């Protein structure tokens, strides 16, 4: 096998992440983490040839990180970035093995949740409702889409990766005509979470307006969501980067601070306050049964973090 030089393959790897729609911060972190590996090789005066990197050298890199960083999360992230990079090389038939695969790092230390405040959530929802009522055409469709995204995260607790991969047929009708979202994780059994009953009205409005705009723009797709500019739909689906920009723009416009992550954490606390079974919450969060909900439970008891379900309604 020919020598695989590091700079070019790292550049191609980053371009591949961009093509997949990874967020700006995610890509920046990968660049930082891989650059740490490059500096390690330079400090050891090792050539930047990847298929000559051995398992023992991988262990030495782990020791280098332990001496350099106090945070186990920083060490974990840099090892994980390199592991994923080598997996990419294997998928593209550039190396035959992943020397990072068996490197053991300290367990991840979970940072405390920082959920969105309920008054800010209400302000965001009110903005979306008013936008639907006071706009038309593509602008109205965009407000409808954003309201659907809002409920996918705050009402059903979906992660960004789940939201961006949804198809229209993942919205199912359950008992009493209450809609549910079907989630199919790659390594777990599918599950579904129900929406508020009023979501049905929002979803029907969204489907009608989306169909009209598809016909107008002569475009078709099965994705639930879409990417657009002010004039037309550009494509089906919305990328993680697109969601990041969406919440950043909404926060700036409304003078609040809400991200998809903080909105999802608010949903988790809302479930705890509603006495939803902890096994269900952990399943919907995508964590192991042994995962501790204690940080969320502690926040759920604070008066400033009291959450209520939000129903969709265009009535004044």
For residues 242-271, average pLDDT: 96
Mean pLDDT of 140-153: 98
128 contacts 205 by C-beta, under 8 angstroms: no
227: helix, strand or coil: strand
C-alpha pair distances (Å), 265 with each of 157, 202, 269, 285: 8, 23, 6, 10
Which has the higher per-residue pLDDT, 158 or 67? 158
User: Percentage of the chain surpassing pLDDT 70?
Assistant: 92
How much is the pLDDT for 245?
94
Q: What is the pTM of this model?
A: 0.72
At residue 2, does pLDDT exceed 50? no
Name the CA radius of gyration of the chain, rounded: 22
- Report the chain's mean pLDDT, rounded to a whole number: 88
The whole-number average pLDDT for the span 212-227 is 96
How does residue 1 score in pLDDT terms, banded at 50, 70 and 90? Answer: very low
Mean pLDDT of the region 284-299:
90
Structure tokens at 188: 């777990």
Average pLDDT over residues 225-243: 93
CB-CB neighbours of 296 under 10 Å: 21
Among 81-85, 205-209, 267-271, name the one with the lowest average pLDDT: 81-85
| Between residues 5 and 15, the one the model is more confident about | 15
Q: Which domains does the chain have, with CATH numbers?
A: 6-91 (1.10.150), 118-305 (1.10.443.10)
CA–CA separation, 62 and 67 (whole Å):
9
pLDDT for 46-69, tens place per residue? 765 665 667 777 778 888 888 887
What pLDDT does residue 63 have?
A: 82
Give, in degrees to the nearest 5, the angle at Cα 143 between 140 and 149. Answer: 145
The reported pLDDT for the residue numbered 77 is: 85
- CA dihedral for 82, 88, 92, 96, sign (positive or negative): positive
Q: How far is CA 80 from CA 41, 171, 191, in A?
A: 17, 34, 28
3 state DSSP class of 223: strand
**Confidence (pLDDT) at 52:** 61
Q: Higher model confidence: residue 4 or residue 31?
A: 31
- Percent of the chain past pLDDT 90, that is, above it, reads 56
pLDDT at residue 284 tops 90: yes
Structure confidence at residue 53 (pLDDT): 67
Q: Between residues 94 and 133, which one has the greater pLDDT? A: 133
User: CA-to-CA distance for 151 and 164, rounded, in angstroms?
Assistant: 14
Looking at residue 279, its pLDDT comes to: 93
Q: Provide the edge-to-edge strand list for the sheet that holds 171-173.
A: 171-173, 179-183, 191-194
| In the predicted structure, residue 158 carries a pLDDT above the cut 90 | yes
Q: Give pLDDT tens digits for 12-41.
A: 999 988 888 787 888 888 999 888 888 888
Give the count of beta carbons closer than 10 Å to the beta carbon of residue 131: 16
- Coil, strand or helix: which one is 21? coil
Run of H or E residues at 96: none
Please, which residues have CB within 8 angstroms of residue 198's CB and are 6 or more apart in sequence?
311, 312, 313
Residue 42, CA distances (Å) to 36, 74, 82, 83 in order: 10, 20, 16, 19
Greatest pairwise CA separation for the chain in angstroms: 69
pLDDT of residue 3: 54
Question: What pLDDT score does 104 carry?
Answer: 61
pLDDT band of residue 275 (cuts 50, 70, 90) is very high
Alpha helices (runs of H) in 69-117, residue ranges in sequence order: 72-91
């Amino acid at each position: 096998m020919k020598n695989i030089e590091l700079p070019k393959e790292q550049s191609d790897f980053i371009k591949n992440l961009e093509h997949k729609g990874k967020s700006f911060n995610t890509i920046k972190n990968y660049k930082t983490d891989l650059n740490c590996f490059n500096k390690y090789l330079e400090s050891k005066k090792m050539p930047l040839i990847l298929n000559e990197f051995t398992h023992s050298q991988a262990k030495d890199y782990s020791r280098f990180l332990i001496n350099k960083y106090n945070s186990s999360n920083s060490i974990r992230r840099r090892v994980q970035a390199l592991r994923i990079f080598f997996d990419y090389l294997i998928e593209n038939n550039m190396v035959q093995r992943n020397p990072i695969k068996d490197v053991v790092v300290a367990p991840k230390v979970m940072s405390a949740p920082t959920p969105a405040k309920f008054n800010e959530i209400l302000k965001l929802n009110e903005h979306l409702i008013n936008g639907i009522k006071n706009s038309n055409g593509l602008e109205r469709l965009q407000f409808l889409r954003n309201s659907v995204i809002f409920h996918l995260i705050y009402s059903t607790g979906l992660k960004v990766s789940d939201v961006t991969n949804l198809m229209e047929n993942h919205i199912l009708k359950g008992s009493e005509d209450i809609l549910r979202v079907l989630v199919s994780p790659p390594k777990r059994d599918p599950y579904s979470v129900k929406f508020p009953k009023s979501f049905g009205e929002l979803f029907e409005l969204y489907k009608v307006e989306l169909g009209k705009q598809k016909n107008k723009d002569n475009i078709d797709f099965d994705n639930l969501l879409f990417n657009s500019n002010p004039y037309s739909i550009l494509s089906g689906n919305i990328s993680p980067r697109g969601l990041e920009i969406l919440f950043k723009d909404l926060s700036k416009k409304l003078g609040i601070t809400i991200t998809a992550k903080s909105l999802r954490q608010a949903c988790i606390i809302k479930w705890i306050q509603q006495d939803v079974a902890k096994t269900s919450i952990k399943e919907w969060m995508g964590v192991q049964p042994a995962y501790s909900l204690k940080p969320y439970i502690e926040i759920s008891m604070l008066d400033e973090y009291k959450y209520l379900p939000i129903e969709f309604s265009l009535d004044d």
